[in-house]
Amino acid sequence: MSIQVVLEDSEFILDISGWTAVTNLRRKIKIPYNSVVDVQTGNFKFPLTAIKRTGITTLDYKAGIFLIDGKKYFLSFHSDNKVIILSLKENEFDKVVIESEDPEQLANNILMRCSSQ
């Protein structure tokens, strides 16, 4: 996987590797827990109206920065039904959608840290 989530005390870090890092010209995205408004798991349907800023789009992989309905998204997933969807405030991105082997567990870990902030 090209994204690894590192949970720290006051923020979590998306460690980006592979082609996702190359095409986005970055290796890390830091997200403070206090910027998380909502955390969901489940399906994410990639809209045909999405505008790619940087990244990769193939039939089975979406990764990069996209504008969707006027909001800035960071996406990284193969399987659109094993994702965690983060809604953010006062952040570079309005939404972050990333794939996880266990999206429910990752969501719970993030939510626990958000509630303690």
Do 90 and 99 contact (CB within 8 A), yes or no?
Answer: no
**If pLDDT is split at 50, 70 and 90, which confidence band does 55 have?**
confident
List pLDDT tens digits, range 70-95: 999 999 999 889 999 999 999 999 99
- Tokens representing 66 are 């996209």
Q: Report the percent of the chain where pLDDT is more than 70.
A: 97
The residue behind tokens 């902030």 is 117
- Model pTM? 0.92
The residue behind tokens 């980006």 is 16
Strand-pair partners of 67:
51, 72
